[in-house]
Amino acid sequence: MEDSTYNETFLPLRFFLNQVAVHCPSCNKKGYVKTDIPPVAEQEKIFEVFVDCGTYYSPYRWSTACFLCCSCSKRIEFDKASSLKTWHGPIIATAEASCPACMALGYKQRIPAKKTVIKKAITLPTSTKLSCNKCNTKVDAEWKYTPNYSAMVPTDPIFGLALFAQQTLGKHIVWVYNCEHLNHMKAYIQATQRKTSFTILTGGHGDLQRLDSRHDILSFSQTLPTWMKAKSNRSAVLKALEDLKQKV
């Protein structure tokens, strides 16, 4: 293979959200999630990202999004106020209470609970009983549901719909959002030299490792798993990407 270099500017996954091929939640056929993010080819290349006090400044955040099926009439509009209603992916449920018995003894005993649930047609329970791990008292608590973005399931990040372009490779999955994402992945994987051409500038308070939204400041290649970047898997990954071309 001839020598090739991939120069990566700041290009986090969310920059690829112009259009994402996903499975329709009604008929399971192909549909698209579309946002107001311009295609990567029309975006300005970002060489510097500024982070301060946990906030980072970079353009291209989507504000409107919808899903349109190519086969049936299914259409979903994104509404920030009720984003969980249109979320189809994994959900994390959390509940918390303070134990009243321990409270009477003069100290606050917190009882946290956490579980991952898959949203189905059935309604999710609203309340649960937690037991204090100090004194075993049972306490009523409310479940709070939020999308589980860190679940390792290939979905779009807006509606949590299963990606259309995904393929298993051994025990792993290769997936892409769209054609542009596929081309960048391909160029990155087949490059013999990979160069990062952007810098992250911190304003003194930015501890990158501790940022909750760390994923947001990682460029797409930095979120790729090690097996995918390994030289030994290069041809298999490229083959999988080639196969995915007809699915985006």
Site residues (vs Zn ion, CB under 5 A) = 24, 26-27, 69, 71-72, 74, 99, 101-102, 109, 132, 134-135, 137
In the complex, least distance from residue 159 CB atom to Zn ion, rounded to whole angstroms: 13
In sign, the C-alpha dihedral spanning 215, 220, 221, 223 is positive
| CB nearer to Zn ion: pick between 72 and 201 | 72
Alpha helices in 68-154, H assignment, sequence order = 100-104
In the complex, least distance from residue 130 CB atom to Zn ion, rounded to whole angstroms: 10
Count CA within 13 A, CB hemisphere, residue 215. 9
Residue 92 CA from chain centroid, whole number: 14
In the complex, least distance from residue 10 CB atom to Zn ion, rounded to whole angstroms: 35
| CB nearer to Zn ion: pick between 139 and 189 | 139
What are the backbone dihedrals phi and psi of residue 238, each rounded to the nearest 5 degrees, phi first? -65, -35
Region of 237 on the Ramachandran plot (φ > 0 left; ψ -120 to 50 alpha; else beta): alpha
Find the helix or strand (DSSP H, E) in which 228 lies: helix 226-229
| CB nearer to Zn ion: pick between 74 and 215 | 74
What are the backbone dihedrals phi and psi of residue 139, each rounded to the nearest 5 degrees, phi first? -130, 140
In the complex, least distance from residue 141 CB atom to Zn ion, rounded to whole angstroms: 13
| CB nearer to Zn ion: pick between 161 and 228 | 161
In the complex, least distance from residue 210 CB atom to Zn ion, rounded to whole angstroms: 31
In whole angstroms, give the CA distance from residue 233 to residue 238: 9
In whole angstroms, give the CA distance from residue 97 to residue 17: 38
| CB nearer to Zn ion: pick between 34 and 172 | 34
In the complex, least distance from residue 103 CB atom to Zn ion, rounded to whole angstroms: 8
| CB nearer to Zn ion: pick between 86 and 109 | 109
